[in-house]
Structure 1
Amino acid sequence: PLGGLEFAIVRIIETLAAEGVGIFSFGASFGVKAGESLNSSPEVENGLSELRSVGIFDEGNFQFKNKFRPTNSTIYLCQPDDERRSAVADVILMIASPDLDTTAPEALDDLPATSNSNSNCESDSKAPVRTAAPEPAAAPAPEHPVPAGAAAPQPAGSDSAHGHNPITLPTSAVRFDLITDSWAELATPAVTERMARLTEAAAGVELGAEGLPRVPWLDFECVVPTPSGRTAEALLCRSWPGIRQAVVHNGLFPTLLMSLADNGFEPVELSDCRPVTRTGPFRDVDLTALQRILAERPGGVSMICLELSDNAQGGYPISLANLREVRRIAVAAGIPLVLDATRALENAAFVVEHEEGQQGRSIWKVTADLLATADA
């Protein structure tokens, strides 16, 4: 909702201040001119001005941050005053758009240091004593000799081979790649093979045909395999029958919200979900608020769409009893109930552990009960 982000930031700052935290950072805003420098490079100034003129820098982001009256501190980008310096566009674009290809900067560590000391200056302080570093272990000889003056080839997974930009490292070069929590976005051999199998299965199976993968806890007449969650979301929204109207939801993932908007639906958020109960971890749907929204839009709601263990609500689960009540209201109004079951097992685990009357049950049976409330 409008103003929601500002409200959340103010509350975060208030909470941190109450906890004795002295600093809250909005992060860096690159490319915004906040002042003048006496020794700035004319070349860099011109480069930054050119980037600003084509909209590379988001001035609006800096303006948004200043609404909260922060103390702005200038960031200085320093470079050697010789041919080794990188172009300003390469530096800024690597920060602003790390997915873009970058040119690997020349290694500086191996170049001889230039003394900046003045022989006419005297100091009472003692010069630091540099101890000799241990001799490094000899590297194995290359299989083929490297010509004199030629740079040694860099391993495919090395930083320098990818512009010293870890974002551009291939997934295969990183043992534990935590750049995303979505397995479908990782280009590992296992993921590539799995997505190919799912895509092939989806293309080769007609809706409702025999031979679809069947599992006891996914008891739907039509099951269509897809290579990723966002593919399933887009397919559902494109294939939805009838008029595209309001979709009442509890805070869906952005990819699903975008698919709804792209296909003519109007997302209407149930922003006042009930707070966490004192007897359990559940953040259930406010049934009164749900009924009020449905009453305000008679015949104007295409579906009720709920995410289990809702990411936007902090991952809090929905109780099985509450979900069954939502189902009852949906059936009475003639409105389909759709579940984003990405975290169905996690939600079921909370139900088994905390919900009265469900404790000790099989997690798979509870998962089946959760999904049984849905039309899709």
Structure 2
Amino acid sequence: MGLARSLAVGLLCSLPLFNAVLAAPTAPNPAAPRSAIAIKLNQSASRARSVVGADVVEDLIRKAQSGSTHAKRDAQFSVLPLITTLTPEKISEMVQRATELNPNYKPADFGSWFQVQFPDSTADEDESEIGEIFMSDNTIGGVGIAHGAEGHVVGVQRTVGGGPVENEAEAIMDAAAYLSAGDVMLLEMQTGDAAGNSWPVEILDAQFDAISLATSLGIIVIEPAANGAQDMDQPVLRIGETTALALLNRDSADFRDSGAIVVGAGSSAAPHSRLSFSNYGNRVDAYSWGENIATSTVNADDQNDDIYDYFDGTSGASPIVAGAALIIQGIVNVNRGTKLTPAEMRSLITVGGTASADPSSDKIGVQPDLRALIDGGHLD
């Protein structure tokens, strides 16, 4: 799996109406994305100066540059709000609704987040894959995991300040604004630590805040554990920091829970063993196949093809789990007239699941078993 560049929004039509968000590649952009970082302005920084907002961020960076010994200390940059596609009023409405739905939600001040854009591009150009939660029943091949769904893309790469820039937190916020409680959002993203190892995107504060808002709004968020072969029970040193934190270890004081369902990758052959590239740890809730996953494909000229292709990674395992979540939600809604909350889904989706070959060392949770859930009466 490469770093995915977009989200997509879909509608499950064969069951009661639920929306889904999943990863999909966007069309190539001739202009390379600019380098950008997210910065959160704390209250003390604002109070210590007469200027506010982007001016404070620019002032802090200018002073940091003047005292830096690095060659790029005089690099040009621009400061913009992190979220530009949603109005402050819309964000406030979403935060208020999340607070009402989830008493444990700690409201994030998205107005204090800014993006600092640099003209030189250091963006990773790994290609993304699309998970086949749904596809058209055209009598040629597969019909997808959640049959009858349709998709719509929410791009991670967008145009801000006159050029392309990638903004995962904003994409998550855009998707959350589209979705409703009980819907499913699949994040086909991963991010790097200070050493270049891959981790779940929620180790970054802005992305964590966006995911937490989504789950507090009742949206089921499915998140890849990432392909870094990392033990997530161990501390992670984030880029630009000096202290490693065990953000993804449930037993650590550093732990913080976004409410997302984190998915690892196992072998396609039974017994399913953790694949060497998959991250693992007690934060991983579930796994599915991370190899030999057949999916629809297109010709080089982007025309529909009548053959299939294979892909892998935790970005292949995650759509399988997302598809299971959609099916579970549909059946529960038909039988009960209600929708599962993110916490209820995270707990239920693993009931009766298939253990990995060596759970104590694999540490990727269990593979959801829809038949066990249905036959066991858990969805009645």
Q: TM-score range by the shorter chain?
A: under 0.3
Q: Rg: which structure is higher?
A: 1
Q: In proportion to residue count, which structure has more helix? A: 1
Q: Could you tell me the TM-score, scaled by structure 2's length?
A: 0.24
Q: In proportion to residue count, which structure has more strand? A: 2
Greater relative contact order (CA < 8 Å, ≥ 6 in sequence): 2
